Structure 1
């Protein structure tokens, strides 16, 4: 398995930067998974200077961003030369106020990950979470260092879906209803929330009691309301099924939510495709069963 890796200057410019926090938390898991990391120039150089992932051949250096390094990652997420140059997703630690985070290649990297149903991990929490879920699917024992990410009884989950993705969200919620119901609270934007509540009532949830607390619809500001919860550290995980093929009149609101998630990079996990969301839910149950068995 191979991921592209990039980090804005903020996230590798100090000893305690986000890139290094992630690597220190997950280096063991990275090595256990033999995860290939194809790192853009400055990101790679920062890892080497910090003495992390020493003697680790799957860490590869790509050109600097200004020399096309990030553009190469985009092409390889799509797929180049068969399996020889194909990435399984990307980690991009975003500084929401760095102008480069909205350069075309940065936007395209996320879009192509979503289109090709591959993980796009833009926060420390998301990248930590992904390593643990892949460890679970690899049959490894749970990492106690990831317990904070697996405490749904004290966490809030946001469920958001664009119009074309609402059927996928409902199917996902139906398949993983028990797992999602373990969260202390669920929130959703308008129509998605109503349909999720109707699903829950059909599954025996108390009639009239919301399974998901509804905020405004996306175009009316629901994304902004949930972004505020994220910034207050009152929303810990967002499952956001995006439709990358349509122009969205409320694009700024969607970007606001994404920016909020990257602002609290150590706290908020964001999952953007049904495939990754299903893999996460399966990993949750694997981890729970192994914990119970231990």
Structure 2
């Protein structure tokens, strides 16, 4: 597998920065998976400076951001004619208050990952979770260091879908109802929450009990309400099926939720496409029943 790798400066400017917390937790798993990390210049230099992934042939240096490094990652997520220049996704540890996180190449990187159903990983928790997911699919023994990510019975999950993606969310919930039902609490914005409750009631969930706690619809502020849960560390995972092809009238609210997730980078996992979310659910089952 080949993944693009970038981190905003705040995430590698000291020895306990987010990039290094991820590498401390996952370097062994990266080596086990023989994962190729295509790192933009400043991120590569930071890893080399601190000494992680020493002599690891899978760590590849790309140009600095101002030299087009991030733009190259976007093109390679889309896919190039040479197989060795096609990426399977991207890890981009974002500083939510850094203006560079809204530069065209940063926005395009996420958008192309969503369009091509590839993982876009923007938090430390998501990066740890992804490595464990791929380890499980590779047939490796579960890492006890990732047990906190899989304590679903004590966690809250948010399920959000734009209008065009609501059918995919319902299909996903139907296919993975057993995994979603393990969570202590499920939350969603208005219409999505109602549809999920109706699905649960059709599955035998008590009619007088909500399977999903409904917040306002997205345009009426539901994204902001769920963002507050995330910031208060009361929501540990978000499945956010985005439609990248349409203009979004409540863009600011959606960006607010996305920024909340990256603000609590160690606590919240975010998945942005049905394919990635389905692969995660399959790994959850395999981790319990190898």
Mapped pair 1:4 → 2:17: no
Partner secondary structure for residue 6 of structure 1: strand
CA distance in 1, matches of 2:252, 2:14: 31
Equivalent-residue separation in structure 2 for 1:288 and 1:256 (angstroms): 34
SS in structure 1 opposite 2:244? coil
Structure 1 match to 2:51: 51
Aligned-partner Cα distance in 2 for 1:179–1:85:
35
Match of 1:200 in 2: 200
Distance 2:65 2:256 in 1: 25
Aligned position for 1:26: 26
Q: Distance in 2 between matches of 1:136 and 1:126?
A: 15
Give the whole-Å Cα distance in 1 for the aligned partners of 2:80 and 2:182: 41
Q: What is the CA–CA distance in structure 1 between the aligned matches of 2:41 and 2:7, rounded to whole Å?
A: 10
- Hey, what does 2:261 align to over in structure 1? 261
Aligned length: 290
Deviation of residue 82 (structure 1)? 3.7
User: What is the CA–CA distance in structure 2 between the aligned matches of 1:168 and 1:208, rounded to whole Å?
Assistant: 26
For 1:101, the equivalent position in structure 2 comes to 101
What corresponds to 2:14 in structure 1?
A: 14
Structure 1 length-normalised TM: 0.98
How much does 1:265 deviate?
A: 0.1
Quote the Cα distance in structure 2 between the aligned partners of 1:82 and 1:9. 31
Match of 2:76 in 1: 76
CA distance in 2, matches of 1:74, 1:32: 26
In structure 2, the partner of 1:190 is 190
Paired with 2:5 and 2:173, the residues of 1 have a C-alpha distance of: 31
Shift of 1:106: 0.2
Aligned mates of 1:67, 1:6 — CA distance in 2: 14
Shift of 1:84: 2.5
Secondary structure, aligned partner of 2:31: helix
Cα separation, 1, equivalents of 2:71 and 2:208 = 50
In structure 2, list runs of 5 or more residues that go unmatched. Answer: none
Give the aligned partner of residue 171 of structure 1: 171
Partner of 1:270: 270
The Cα offsets for residues 59-110 of structure 1, whole Å up to 9 and x where unpaired, read as 0000000000000000000011241210000000000011101000000000
Measure how far apart 1:125 and its partner are: 0.1
Task: Give 1:22 shift.
Answer: 0.2
Deviation at 1:289, TM superposition (A): 1.1
For 2:19 and 2:107, the matched residues in 1 are separated by 20
Distance 2:84 2:268 in 1: 33
Cα distance in 2 between the residues matched to 1:57 and 1:98: 31
Which ranges in structure 1 are unaligned for 5 or more consecutive residues? none
Number of the residue aligned with 1:241: 241
- What SS is found at the alignment partner of 2:266? coil
Note the 1:126-137 alignment, pairs <5 A. 126-137=126-137
Q: Using the alignment, how far apart are the partners of 1:27 and 1:289 within structure 2?
A: 25
Q: How far has the Cα of 1:270 moved from its partner?
A: 0.2
CA distance in 1, matches of 2:78, 2:263: 28
Q: State the Cα RMSD in Å.
A: 0.5
2-side partners of 1:82 and 1:63: how far apart?
Answer: 19
